[in-house]
C-alpha cells in the first residue's frame, strides 16, 4: 500500500475554477517555490476516473520537455481530493494581455502563433493531441513584457499512436474552435489542433472568431461548411494577404489535406525573416491592429462569461458519457463539491503520494520528501473507483 506522509505544501488563495476542479495557489514548504494546484473532489470523479488518469498520462509524457507547455510537478491525494501541482502562471490570459498593450502589430500576432505552433509540434511529436486549444488556455508565465506563453489545460488531450489518428469520435472541445470532423464524427486526431490554431490566428488578427453565429447550431453548420469571411472590411484592411493565406491554410476543411504543425511552421507568414504587414499610408510603418482587436474583444467578453458555465457542464457530461438524468445531478452537485474541495486544509490532512519511478517530479523535490510507491496513480485510477 502507498505510504501516508505529511503534506509538503501549503495552499493559499483560490486562483480560478474550471469544469470540475478549482485551482489554488500553493507553496512548497521546503523550497519556498510557488505553484498552481488543481484540486479535484473525488466525489465528482466517481465512475469517471479515466478523465484524471488521462490528464496525468498526457502531462507525464510532455512535462518539463518544452518551455511553452505547463509542467506537472507533482500529484497526490487526500481522503477527499486529488491534487495536481503545476507551474504557476501569473501573466494572465492572452485576451487580457493584448488589450493591455499600448500597440499591437501583425508581427506580434505572428510571433505568438509561431511560438504556440512550436509547442503544438512538440505535443504532436510526443503522440498527443490537445483538442482544446483556445485563447483561454494560453497563459503567460509572468507579467514581464518578454514572458513565455504557455499551453495549459490538457484535460481533453489524448495520447495517440500514429496509426490511430482517426480513432477518436466523441464530440468535445470548445465549439468555436472545433474542427469539422469532430462535429461530423468521422474520426479525428492531431489535425484538429491545426484547425484550432487557424481559428486562434484569425482571432489574434481581428479580435473575434471566424464562425461566430447567432446559435451553436448555425456555428456548427458554418464550421462544417468552412463558411467564413475576412469581414467586416475595416477589421481586415490592415492585415496582410500572407496572414490571410495562413489562416486559410490552417482552416482547410479536409483533415487529410490540412497542414501538419511542421508544415504550418514552414508557411511564409511564420518562416520569413522579414515580417509581413500592411503599411500606414502616411509613413510606411506597420499598421496598428490594437484599436479594432481591442474593440472586438471587449464586445465579446460578456458573452464569454455567460456561455462558459453552460459549456463547462456540457463538456464534463460529454467526457463522462453520462445519461441525461445523471448529467442533471452532476450539474446540481458540482458547485457544492468544488466548494468542499476549496475548504480542505492540506496542512492537517494525510497525504498519499502515488509516484512511480518515472514521475515528473522536478529537481527541487528531494527523494526523501516524497514516499515512493510501486503503483502509479494513473494505474490505480484505472483499476479502482475513487471513493471517500
Residue 368 CA to residue 277 CA, distance in Å, equals 55
CA distance linking residue 98 with residue 6, whole number of Å: 42
Contacts of 323 (CB under 8 A, 6+ apart): none
Residue 41 CA, distance from chain mean position:
20
Domain spans in the chain, listed from the N-terminal domain onward: 4-88+331-382, 94-288
Q: Is the pLDDT of residue 237 over 50?
A: yes
The phi, psi pair for 356, rounded to 5°, reads -90, 180
pLDDT of residue 168: 66
Report residue 350 as a C-alpha cell: 494525510
The predicted-structure confidence for 81-100, as pLDDT tens digits, reads as follows 899 999 999 999 898 899 88
Q: In 283-309, which positions are buried (b, 16+ CB within 10 angstroms) versus exposed (e)?
A: eeebbbbbebbbebbeebeeeeeeeee
Beta carbons of 269 and 249 less than 8 angstroms apart? no
pLDDT band, residue 332 (cuts 50/70/90) = low
Helix (H) or strand (E) holding 26: strand 22-28
pLDDT-above-90 percentage for the chain: 52
Mean pLDDT of all residues in the chain? Answer: 81
Of 149, 154, 179, 151, residue with least CA distance to 166: 179
Secondary structure (3-state) at 85:
strand
Pick the more confident residue, 112 or 342.
112
What is the pLDDT confidence band of residue 382, given thresholds at 50, 70 and 90?
A: very low
Which DSSP helix (H) or strand (E) runs through 315?
helix 290-320
Query: Which residues does residue 168 pair with via DSSP β-bridges, in sequence order?
Result: 188
Residue 182 DSSP code: H
Reading the block at residue 137, the C-alpha cell is 488556455
When pLDDT is cut at 50, 70 and 90, the band that residue 358 belongs to is very low
Q: Quick check: 80 pLDDT over 90?
A: no
CATH superfamily name and code, 94-288: Transferase(Phosphotransferase) domain 1 (1.10.510.10)
Please tell me whether 38 is known to bind a ligand. yes
CA angle 289, 135, 48 (to 5 degrees): 170
> In the structure, what pLDDT confidence band is assigned to residue 161 with cuts at 50, 70 and 90?
low
Q: 25 - beta bridge partners?
A: 36
Percent of the chain with pLDDT over 70: 74
Which of these ranges, 67-71, 138-142, 184-188, 349-353, has the smallest mean pLDDT? 349-353
pTM: predicted TM-score of the whole model, two decimal places? 0.81
291 pLDDT above the threshold of 90: yes
Show which residues are catalytic: 132
CATH number for 4-88+331-382: choose from 3.30.200.20, 2.60.40.10, 3.30.565.10, 3.40.50.300. Answer: 3.30.200.20
Residue 350 pLDDT > 60, yes or no? yes
Q: Would you call 356 exposed, middle or buried from its count of C-beta atoms within 10 A (0-12, 13-18, 19+)? A: middle
Lowest mean pLDDT among 43-47, 164-168, 185-189, 224-228: 164-168
Specify the pLDDT at position 155: 82
The sign of the dihedral angle between the CA atoms of 140, 85, 367, 6 is: positive
Contact 80, 42 (CB under 8 A): yes
pLDDT score recorded for residue 359? 43
pLDDT of 62 > 80? The answer is: yes
- Across 12-16, 165-169, 333-337, 339-343, the highest mean pLDDT is recorded for 12-16
Rounded to whole angstroms, how far apart are CA atoms 76 and 326? 28
pLDDT of residue 380: 36
Q: Do 4-88+331-382 and 94-288 share a fold?
A: no
Q: Specify the range with the lowest mean pLDDT, choosing from 40-49, 206-215, 261-270, 317-326.
A: 317-326
Amino acid at each position: 500500500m502507498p505510504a501516508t506522509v505529511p503534506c509538503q505544501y501549503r495552499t493559499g488563495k483560490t486562483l480560478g475554477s474550471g469544469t470540475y476542479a478549482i485551482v489554488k495557489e500553493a507553496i512548497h514548504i521546503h523550497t519556498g517555490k510557488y505553484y498552481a494546484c488543481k484540486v479535484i473532489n473525488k466525489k465528482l470523479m466517481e465512475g469517471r476516473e479515466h478523465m484524471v488518469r488521462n490528464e496525468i498520462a498526457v502531462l507525464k509524457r510532455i512535462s518539463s520537455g518544452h518551455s511553452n507547455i505547463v509542467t506537472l510537478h507533482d500529484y497526490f491525494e487526500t481522503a477527499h481530493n486529488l491534487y495536481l501541482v503545476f507551474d504557476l502562471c501569473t501573466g494572465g490570459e492572452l485576451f487580457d494581455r493584448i488589450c493591455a498593450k499600448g500597440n499591437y502589430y501583425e508581427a506580434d500576432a505572428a510571433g505568438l502563433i509561431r511560438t504556440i505552433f512550436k509547442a503544438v509540434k512538440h505535443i504532436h511529436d510526443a503522440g498527443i493531441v490537445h483538442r482544446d486549444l483556445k485563447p483561454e488556455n494560453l497563459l503567460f508565465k509572468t507579467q514581464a513584457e518578454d514572458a513565455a506563453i504557455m499551453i495549459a489545460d490538457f484535460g481533453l488531450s489524448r495520447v495517440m499512436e500514429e496509426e490511430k489518428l482517426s480513432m477518436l469520435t466523441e464530440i468535445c472541445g470548445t465549439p468555436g474552435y472545433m474542427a469539422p470532423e469532430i462535429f461530423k464524427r468521422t474520426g479525428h486526431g492531431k489535425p484538429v489542433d491545426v484547425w484550432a490554431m487557424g481559428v486562434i490566428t484569425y482571432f489574434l488578427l481581428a479580435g473575434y472568431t471566424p464562425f461566430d453565429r447567432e446559435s451553436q447550431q448555425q456555428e456548427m453548420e458554418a464550421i462544417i461548411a468552412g463558411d467564413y469571411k475576412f469581414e467586416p472590411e475595416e477589421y481586415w484592411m490592415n492585415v496582410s494577404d500572407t496572414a490571410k493565406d495562413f489562416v486559410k491554410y490552417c482552416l482547410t476543411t479536409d483533415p487529410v489535406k490540412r497542414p501538419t504543425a511542421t508544415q504550418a511552421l514552414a508557411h511564409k507568414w511564420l518562416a520569413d525573416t522579414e515580417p509581413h504587414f500592411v503599411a500606414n499610408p502616411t509613413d510606411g510603418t506597420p499598421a496598428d491592429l490594437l484599436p479594432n482587436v481591442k474593440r472586438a474583444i471587449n464586445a465579446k467578453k460578456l458573452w464569454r462569461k455567460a456561455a462558459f458555465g453552460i459549456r463547462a457542464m456540457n463538456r464534463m457530461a460529454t467526457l463522462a458519457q453520462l445519461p441525461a438524468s445523471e448529467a442533471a445531478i452532476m450539474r446540481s452537485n458540482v458547485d457544492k463539491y468544488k466548494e468542499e474541495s476549496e475548504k480542505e486544509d492540506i496542512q492537517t490532512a494525510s497525504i498519499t503520494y502515488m509516484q512511480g519511478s518515472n514521475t515528473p517530479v522536478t529537481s527541487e523535490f528531494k527523494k526523501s520528501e516524497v514516499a515512493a510507491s510501486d503503483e502509479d496513480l494513473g494505474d490505480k485510477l484505472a483499476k479502482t473507483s475513487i471513493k471517500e
